[in-house]
């Protein structure tokens, strides 16, 4: 999957089609490397829109029918700090 | 109750204009970024020099707290910012600053304007420039102090603010100052540090150290000058920075600090080059600090008028007595004390305070501490000037805040960086490890039996948790995608500075707290009377601790 | 394409850069340090203005007394993060008493122009879209300074004492 931060408020974004979503579960999963690389290239070309920054790809896998990041870092990034479960997306704090 | 204004530096119209213009400048930079006039690559160094990082979940804003000194008015504004622009809390850092974890870029100009209204800013709290000058958090109050280091810190702060030659250094540059023989400012681990000393003639001046640092390759700073006269200090510092700016490595960010340069040149050559610059700068004269300026700045930090009080500690029960034992330190004025508020109640996030807690602390500051608080580099707060007879009332209030743990300097007074829960650079989480260890050792009697034991946890090699200086240090690493923790023993950030020794292979998240416990058991079994953990380690070495740590529990 | 800003206005660049292996043309030229060291005699006996372009790792002190033969020293910023040229400019003005043109070339930001000006730069090679209005604005964003530099601007301390 492809992630970035929204420029204006720093919120974590996930690529969904040609756009972005705040929710990892709604993001597009690239099952082929070529697709993923193309998505990253598109995003990099779109940096000039000044809507988001620092796009990068990260790995996910399917666990019991749910898409989950492989790396701890991305799990935390998608949910929020593990030490404040009242904050971040896990608590529904998203800046719309 | 009314707001009390402490004796500290106050902005004049020049300082106020400087911060206002800086804020306007950054507002323009934000506009240019949003419109695309600036790319992210161009904007990044500019926002860093205004303390704004992009982290794991959001931006992070690091607000400067010069030499860790805050007034109650400033504390209330920090609470207001947490409430209005963030998620209701802030984090006090290992460089005496405060961090907010959820600001929006578009709000940062407004935050900076609010900060400016109380003489605060976020200038140079990040970036490859001279950072916040830190100082002994007991400055102006400690019984062992030769001289308050904060006037020097303020002079250095002004000189280093947007210094045109030194805003694009090879890497960050951290300065610390101390005015007492007991080093509470971790001088040995700074790029440059000053200890206030008296020479043989009884003249007060500055012993200057260079080349300390943490990170990937820790170093203890070396003495570059035994004695620099007060009016020469800026010329001397400029000389050090110039040599560093010219010769510090630019090819590898892990080898770009002055500690690497000092080690590469050797202290003799470093001293020779600095001396050459220093003599020239001094001769030219523009950087000499006249006595009237030293006096003028010193006057801002004049000792408060202390009442003539009997030097009696009130009796307010055993819990209070326990808290006094660990958290109350000797003040230079009879009848007064220094009270440490550990933001380390077992189970809490080390160093965090909610907006409400900050407001209550501001009230405590006004009522009991002449309007003043200090942020220590150990993620705690310090009320520097309290009357002993007020301590029970302070303690009672701290209990309401859940900041009344009697654990200053004890095993549960753990320093932990934000780690993988917050930080883009981290490999592992550090806060949950701190919480686990703190819960495990929560029992106060047990903590007191163990005595002084400083645990410091970093979530990556950048060492913001200062793990190299921990009596027990813990470094989080990524071992094949799993969080893993290395133990280090025997570090110290005080005047007996030493770098912690790595024990060996690490421990998993579920094992590390038990490993620490086994290490502590070895200390308790082996110690001689009056030996702290650090002393026993230095006497018996790593082997007994390592054997115990890796011992598998009996089946 | 670039423009030259000098004395607060666009200026014609009188100097022609000369590659290390090219023949030396007549007129005002800029050479590299390597070229200067190779053809020092020939270059010093010319009677047209001489310029040198120093890379960020090349200290002006290498020139020794020869520095006073140059009418122009161009200091390169290979990447805006590389701040060595701030010290080189300061060194030229203050230690070496260089009074010729110090020109900022390479990759630098609008936001660095004020610092460059303070340490002794007096000419800037800027992209085409860098206007004079931007230049003037860069120099005016911060009214006062805390520390002395090559520009001789009065510091806040001096202003305080003077009032």
* Strand-pair partners of B225: B208
Nearest CA among C134, C122, C126, C121 for reference residue C2? C126
C–B touching, 3+ CB–CB pairs within 8 Å: yes
Same domain flag for B382 and B514: no
Does B66 reside within a domain?
no
Distance CA B441, CA B513 (A): 10
Domain limit, last residue, from B368, B401, B434 = B401
> B512 and B378, same structural domain?
no
Residue B282 lies in a domain: yes
Name the DSSP class of A18: T
Cβ <8 Å between A50 and B33: yes
The B residues from 159 to 198 touching C (CB cutoff 8 Å) are: 159-170
Instruction: Give me the tens of pLDDT residue by residue for chain B, a chain 555 residues long.
Output: 689 999 999 999 999 999 999 999 999 999 999 999 999 999 999 999 999 999 999 999 999 999 999 999 999 999 999 999 999 999 999 999 999 999 999 999 999 999 999 999 999 999 999 999 999 999 999 999 999 999 999 999 999 999 999 999 999 999 999 999 999 999 999 999 999 999 999 999 999 999 999 999 999 999 999 999 999 999 999 999 999 999 999 999 999 999 999 999 999 999 999 999 999 999 999 999 999 999 999 999 999 999 999 999 999 999 999 999 999 999 999 999 999 999 999 999 999 999 999 999 999 999 999 999 999 999 999 999 999 999 999 999 999 999 999 999 999 999 999 999 999 999 999 999 999 999 999 999 999 999 999 999 999 999 999 999 999 999 999 998 899 999 999 999 999 999 999 999 999 999 999 999 999 999 999 999 999 999 999 999 999 999 999 985 443
Task: Tell me if B37 is assigned to some domain.
Answer: no
Q: Round to whole Å and give the CA distance between B551 and B162.
A: 54
> Does the CB of B456 have a partner CB in chain C at under 8 Å?
no
- The size of the A-B interface in CB pairs under 8 A is 78
Q: Give the pLDDT score at B552.
A: 53
Which pLDDT value is given to residue A95?
58
Domain shared by B462 and B429, yes or no? yes
User: Are chains C and A touching, using the cut-off of 8 Å on CB pairs and a minimum of 3 such pairs?
Assistant: no
Domain identity same for B278 and B162: yes
CA distance B377 to B96: 5
Cβ <8 Å between B426 and A50: no
For residues B291 and B382, state if they share a domain.
no
B41 secondary structure, DSSP code: H
ipTM value, please give it: 0.98
Domain that holds residue B497: 415-549
Name residues 130-159 of chain B within 8 A of C (Cβ).
158-159
Chain C interface residues (partner B, CB cutoff 8 A): 56, 59, 80-84, 86-88, 90, 94-95, 109, 111-112, 114-116, 118-119, 141-149, 156-157, 159-161
Residues B231, B358, single domain; the answer is no
Is the Cβ pair C145, B158 closer than 8 Å?
A: no
**Is residue B200 assigned to a domain?**
yes
Tokens representing residue C7 in the block: 């004395």
Domain boundary (B401, B435, B462) is at: B401
* In chain A, domain spans: 2-91
Same domain? For B379 and B419 the reply is no
CATH assignment at residue B525: 3.30.413.10
Q: What is the nearest CA distance from B25 to chain C, expressed in angstroms?
A: 7
- Chain B closest-CA separation from residue A11 CA (Å): 5
Chain A touching partners, 3 or more CB pairs below 8 A: B
Provide the CATH number for the domain around residue B397. 3.90.480.20
Q: What is the mean pLDDT of residues A15-42?
A: 97
B333 with B197, same domain? no
The confidence score (pLDDT) of residue C162 equals: 86
Chain C residues touching residue B166 (CB < 8 angstroms): 83, 86
Q: What is the pLDDT of residue B19?
A: 97
What pLDDT does B543 receive? 97
Q: What is the pTM of this model?
A: 0.97
For residues B195 and B204, what is the distance between their CA atoms, to the nearest angstrom? Answer: 10
Q: How far apart are CA C162 and CA C157, in angstroms?
A: 9
What pLDDT was estimated at residue B551?
Answer: 85
| Residues B246 and B154 both lie in one domain | yes
Whether residue B293 sits in one domain with residue B178: yes
Cα angle at C26 between C25 and C27, to 5 degrees? 120
Q: Report the alpha-carbon distance of residue B503 to residue B475 in Å, rounded.
A: 11
Domain count, chain B: 3
pLDDT for B553 equals 47
Residues of C in contact with B35 (CB under 8 A): none
Do B269 and B366 have their domain in common? no
* The domain boundary residue, chosen from B298, B332, B349: B298
In a domain, B181, yes or no: yes
Collect contacts of B192-201 with beta carbons under 8 A, ≥24 apart. B192/B221, B192/B237, B192/B240, B192/B258, B193/B221, B194/B149, B194/B152, B194/B233, B196/B146, B196/B147, B196/B149, B196/B152, B197/B146, B197/B227, B198/B146, B199/B227
Instruction: Verify whether the Cβ–Cβ distance A53 to B56 is below 8 Å.
Output: no
Share of chain A above pLDDT 70, in %: 96
Across the interface, of A50, A54, A93, the residue whose CB is closest to B54 is A54
Residue B128 belongs to a domain: no
- B435 and B339 within one domain: no
Q: Are A55 and A2 in contact (CB under 8 A)?
A: yes
Chain A contact for B86 (CB, 8 A cutoff): no
């Amino acid at each position: 999957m492809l992630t970035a931060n929204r420029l204006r408020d720093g919120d974590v974004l996930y690529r969904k089609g040609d756009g972005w979503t705040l929710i990892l579960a709604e993001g597009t999963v690239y099952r082929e490397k070529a697709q993923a690389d193309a998505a990253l290239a598109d995003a990099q070309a779109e940096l000039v829109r000044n809507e988001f920054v620092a796009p990068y790809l990260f790995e996910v896998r399917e666990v019991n029918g749910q898409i989950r990041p492989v790396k701890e870092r991305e799990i935390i990034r998608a949910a929020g700090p593990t030490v404040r479960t009242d904050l971040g997306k896990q608590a529904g704090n998203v800046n719309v | 109750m009314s707001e009390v204004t402490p004796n500290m530096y106050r902005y004049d119209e020049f300082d106020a204009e400087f911060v206002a213009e800086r804020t306007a400048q950054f507002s323009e930079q934000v506009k240019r970024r949003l419109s695309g006039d600036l790319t992210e690559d161009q904007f990044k160094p500019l926002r860093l020099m205004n303390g704004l990082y992009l982290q794991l979940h959001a931006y992070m804003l690091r607000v400067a707290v010069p030499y860790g000194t805050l007034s109650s008015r400033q504390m209330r504004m920090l609470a207001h910012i947490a409430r209005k622009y963030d998620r209701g809390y802030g984090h006090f850092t290992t460089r005496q600053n405060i961090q907010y974890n959820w600001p929006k870029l578009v709000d940062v100009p407004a935050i900076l304007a609010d900060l400016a209204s109380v003489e605060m800013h976020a200038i140079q709290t990040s970036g490859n420039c001279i950072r916040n000058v830190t100082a002994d958090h007991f400055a102006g109050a400690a019984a062992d102090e030769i001289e308050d280091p904060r006037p020097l810190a303020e002079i250095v702060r002004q000189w280093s603010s947007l210094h045109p030659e030194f805003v694009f250094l090879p890497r960050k540059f951290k300065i610390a100052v101390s005015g007492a023989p007991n080093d509470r400012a971790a001088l040995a681990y700074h790029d440059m540090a000053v200890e206030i000393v008296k020479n043989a003639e009884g003249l007060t001046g500055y012993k200057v150290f260079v080349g300390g640092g943490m990170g990937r390759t820790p170093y203890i700073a070396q003495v570059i000058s035994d004695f620099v006269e007060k009016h020469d200090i800026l010329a001397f510092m400029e000389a050090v920075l110039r040599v560093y700016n010219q010769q510090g490595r630019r090819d590898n960010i892990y080898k770009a600090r002055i500690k690497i340069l000092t080690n590469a040149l050797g202290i003799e050559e470093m001293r020779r080059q600095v001396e050459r610059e220093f003599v020239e700068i001094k001769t030219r004269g523009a950087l000499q600090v006249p006595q009237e300026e030293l006096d003028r700045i010193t006057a801002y930090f004049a000792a408060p008028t202390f009442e003539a009080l009997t030097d009696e500690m009130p009796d307010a029960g055993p819990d209070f007595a326990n808290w006094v034992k660990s958290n109350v330190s000797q003040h230079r004025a009879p009848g007064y004390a220094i009270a440490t508020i550990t933001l380390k109640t077992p189970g809490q996030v080390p160093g965090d305070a909610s907006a409400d807690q900050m407001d209550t602390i501001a009230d405590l500051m006004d009522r009991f501490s002449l309007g003043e608080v200090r942020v220590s580099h150990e993620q705690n707060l310090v009320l520097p000037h309290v009357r002993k007879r007020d301590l029970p009332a302070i303690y009672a209030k701290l209990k309401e805040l859940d900041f009344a743990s009697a654990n200053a300097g004890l095993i549960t007074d753990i320093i932990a960086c934000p780690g993988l829960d917050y930080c883009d650079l981290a490999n592992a989480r550090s806060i949950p490890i701190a919480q686990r260890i703190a819960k495990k050792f929560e029992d106060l009697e047990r903590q007191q039996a163990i005595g002084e034991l400083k645990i410091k946890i970093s979530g990556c090699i950048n060492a913001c948790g200062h793990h190299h200086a921990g009596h027990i240090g813990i470094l989080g690493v990524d071992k094949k995608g799993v969080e893993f923790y290395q133990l280090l023993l025997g570090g110290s950030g005080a005047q007996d500075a030493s770098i912690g020794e790595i024990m060996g292979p690490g421990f998993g998240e579920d094992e590390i707290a038990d490993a620490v416990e086994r290490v502590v058991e070895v200390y308790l079994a082996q110690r001689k009377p009056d030996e702290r953990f650090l002393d026993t380690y230095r006497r018996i070495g790593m082997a007994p601790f390592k054997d115990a740590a890796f011992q598998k529990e009996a089946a | 394409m670039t423009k030259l800003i000098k004395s607060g206005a666009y200026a014609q660049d009188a100097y022609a850069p000369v590659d290390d292996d090219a023949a030396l043309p007549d007129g005002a030229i800029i050479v590299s340090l390597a070229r200067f060291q190779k053809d020092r005699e020939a270059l010093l006996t010319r009677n047209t203005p001489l310029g040198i372009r120093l890379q960020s790792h090349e200290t002006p002190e290498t020139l020794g007394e020869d520095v006073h033969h140059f009418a122009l020293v161009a200091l390169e910023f290979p990447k805006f993060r590389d701040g060595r040229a701030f010290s080189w400019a300061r060194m030229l003005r203050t230690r070496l008493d260089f009074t010729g043109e110090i020109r900022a070339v390479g990759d630098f930001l609008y936001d660095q122009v004020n610092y460059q000006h303070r340490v002794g730069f007096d000419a800037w090679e800027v992209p085409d879209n860098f206007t004079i209005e931007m230049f003037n604005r860069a120099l005016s964003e911060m009214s006062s300074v805390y520390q002395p530099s090559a520009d001789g601007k009065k510091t806040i301390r001096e202003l305080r004492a003077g009032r």
